Amino acid sequence: MNKFFLNLGIQPLANNYLPNFRIKQKKYNLKLNFNTKSKIVSISKRISSKEMFHSKYPYRSSLSKTMIDSFKKISLEISKKFNPDLILEIGSNDGALICNFEQNKVIGVEPCSNLAQITQKKGYKTYDKYWDYNLSKTLKKKFKKIDLIYSANTLTHISDLDEVFRSITNVLSNSGVLIIEDPSLLECIKNNAYDQFYNEHIYVFSIISLKNILNKFNLEIFDVKNLQTHGGSLRYYIKRKKNKKINISSNVKKQIIKEVKFGLDKFITFKKFGKKIEKSREKLIKIFTEIRKNNKKIIGYGATAKAATVMNYCKINSNIISFFIDTTKEKTNKYLPGTNIKILKYHSKLIKKNDYIFLGAWNFKKEIFKKEIKFIRRGGKFITHVPYPRII
């Protein structure tokens, strides 16, 4: 049974950057549910994949050093630990992971054709298709044996999880390994990171909920790692249950215990989270209003899907935040979805003139602080809402 615990208000599609804020855009009521049986947290309104992931999708995973480094590290680990003959990446984006492998060792699947083209041009076999059973049949016919499947920040974006895993089990070899990584529900709830919930993030997994889903497909988690990426993610290492050659690490039990201790299997935890988020909103609005009362300027750093979610939930407009800066070409000179706040191309000069910067990309805080050391040294301040609204 799905039980409602938080209403994040009327939201646009979080990656729908428009050249004019007056253009009418699709909006929906963003509500979060906890399923008391499967323990999965999901958003109530599902938007079709075609509307979200298309030939103009703006998000590029290779635009941050943190992500490049993380993908490099896991690529080395994959080669060293599993030495696969053929790797499949589901949701290869602009190739931040697959570019670490030789072209004949890896296949990408990326439905956003603008992104798929980037890796196709570099000689990587990339299917610009949605991950589904039909595609898995095509791959099985063509490649016979895929011994490693990797997918980061993608499977939680697909509504039909049964089809996702049925298709994976269709192509994964018997001794094959599936590695998936996504934001950790535990970290989201602990850090009050409510902006991890928006139209693209249909689910936010915990190990408890993922285990329940995998069970149906005779898959099991044999290891799990906590990552710093995207504000705290989990990387799950998965195999077929019948493959007894791989031992189950004690990390799996430890993570389950951690989540149960925190109450991720109980509705009351999410109910309390919902109340905390309403307070978080009030506090953030208060911080912004007081700064503006003193005629100080605030800009936003990182026009993320998360920032769009926060701005729309808190009903913040350009009277509060003058503009956002971002390095993504596809986002600049457009507006943060659902707001009249313009996004300007990142330039250090734009930072200098301001007093406060709201961290839209709070998940890259370390990387950004390092880059903006001059702003910090001359007394510039950052504002964040994670784990609670404050000025840094």
Distance CA 197, CA 176 (A): 31
Q: Name which of 30 and 361 has its Cβ closer to ligand DWN.
A: 361
Residue 109 contacts residue 47 (beta carbons within 8 Å) = no
DSSP string, 192-229: T-GGG-STT--EE--HHHHHHHHHTTTEEEEEEEEE-G
Alpha carbon dihedral 196, 74, 227, 53, in 10-degree steps, equals 0
Which residues bind to ligand DWN, rule: CB under 6 A?
Answer: 59, 63-64, 153, 200, 230, 302-306, 326-328, 331, 346, 361, 363-364, 367-368, 371
User: Min. distance of Cβ 248 from ligand DWN in angstroms?
Assistant: 28
Q: Name which of 201 and 239 has its Cβ closer to ligand DWN.
A: 201
User: Min. distance of Cβ 21 from ligand DWN in angstroms?
Assistant: 18
User: Min. distance of Cβ 118 from ligand DWN in angstroms?
Assistant: 16
User: Min. distance of Cβ 308 from ligand DWN in angstroms?
Assistant: 8
Q: Name which of 222 and 362 has its Cβ closer to ligand DWN.
A: 362
DSSP-H helix ranges across the chain: 49-52, 65-77, 113-121, 133-143, 161-171, 185-190, 207-215, 250-262, 267-293, 305-313, 348-352, 365-371, 373-377
Q: Name which of 201 and 240 has its Cβ closer to ligand DWN.
A: 201
Per DSSP, the three-state class of 184 is: coil
Q: Name which of 113 and 327 has its Cβ closer to ligand DWN.
A: 327
User: Min. distance of Cβ 367 from ligand DWN in angstroms?
Assistant: 5
Q: Name which of 255 and 363 has its Cβ closer to ligand DWN.
A: 363
Q: Name which of 55 and 134 has its Cβ closer to ligand DWN.
A: 55
Per DSSP, the three-state class of 335 is: strand
What is the β-pairing status of strands 106-109 and 87-90?
Answer: parallel
User: Min. distance of Cβ 183 from ligand DWN in angstroms?
Assistant: 8
User: Min. distance of Cβ 20 from ligand DWN in angstroms?
Assistant: 20
Burial 187-214 (b: 16+ CB within 10 A, else e): bbbebbbbbbbbbbbbbbbbbbbbbebb
Q: Give the largest Cα separation in the chain, rounded.
A: 66
